[in-house]
């Protein structure tokens, strides 16, 4: 394993794994890789807060800067709640959730598995009827005080599974479409 790969892994391990994209990258792993390559600053993760910046500074040897407000501010962790009376079952929130903590089916009511929600907020803009709200999940605790290492590991595992599921679904859809296409030799 190269030094760059080891550093990227250590940086990824130091992130809260909310997969919120506020850092400007599609997921925590991508942000960690960009930091390891020197392409991203270490102060772009609001969910990790100032303690997160200090952790990243210790790993990279860079100075611990203040959290960059362009990416958000450190705040208490929240979780999503779906108003089931308003949910139309469109499934857009299912696709948007990076840790698959929303369950439901097409044209059926959806709900959030509270313990698995990272508070990423990505489901909010996906909902066409605005039936998703965020509620407090950590009281006054912010950053790493609002989130534990086991929760981060679980969120990363769920995100990895989410990515694998999306790849599998895309491959299955490609195969379904290919099976419906007439073979070019039959023309």
Q: What is the CATH number of the domain that holds 90?
A: 3.30.70.20
CATH assignment at residue 54 = 1.10.15.40
Residue 50 lies in a domain: yes
Domain shared by 122 and 94, yes or no: yes
CB atoms within 10 A of CB 94: 18
Residue 157 pLDDT more than 70? yes
Which pLDDT belongs to residue 72? 95
Question: Cα angle vertex 175, ends 171, 176, to 5°?
Answer: 115
pLDDT single digits (tens) 44-78: 999 999 999 999 999 999 999 999 999 999 999 99
Q: Is 160 helix (H, G, I), strand (E, B) or coil?
A: helix
Query: What's the mean pLDDT in 152-181?
Result: 92
| Percentage of the chain exceeding pLDDT 70 | 97
**Are 61 and 92 part of one and the same domain?**
no
**pLDDT attached to residue 89:** 93
Task: Confirm whether 20 is domain-assigned.
Answer: yes
Query: Residues 66, 96: one domain?
Result: no
């Amino acid at each position: 394993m190269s030094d760059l790969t080891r550093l990227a892994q250590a940086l990824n391990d130091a992130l809260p794994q909310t997969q919120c994209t506020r850092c400007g990258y599609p997921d925590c792993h991508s942000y960690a890789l960009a930091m390891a390559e020197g392409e991203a600053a270490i102060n772009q993760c609001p969910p990790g807060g100032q303690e997160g910046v200090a952790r990243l500074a210790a790993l990279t040897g860079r100075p611990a800067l203040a959290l960059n407000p362009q990416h958000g501010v450190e705040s208490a962790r929240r979780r999503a709640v779906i108003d089931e009376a308003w949910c139309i079952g469109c499934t857009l929130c299912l696709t948007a959730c990076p840790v698959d903590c929303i369950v439901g089916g097409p044209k059926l009511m959806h709900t959030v598995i509270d313990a698995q929600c990272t508070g990423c907020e990505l489901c909010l803009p996906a909902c066409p009827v605005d039936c998703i709200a965020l509620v407090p999940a950590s009281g006054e605790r912010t950053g790493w005080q609002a989130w534990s290492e086991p929760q981060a590991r679980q969120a990363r595992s769920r995100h990895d599974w989410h990515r694998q599921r999306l790849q599998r679904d895309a491959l299955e859809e490609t195969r379904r479409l290919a099976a419906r296409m007439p073979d070019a030799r039959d023309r």
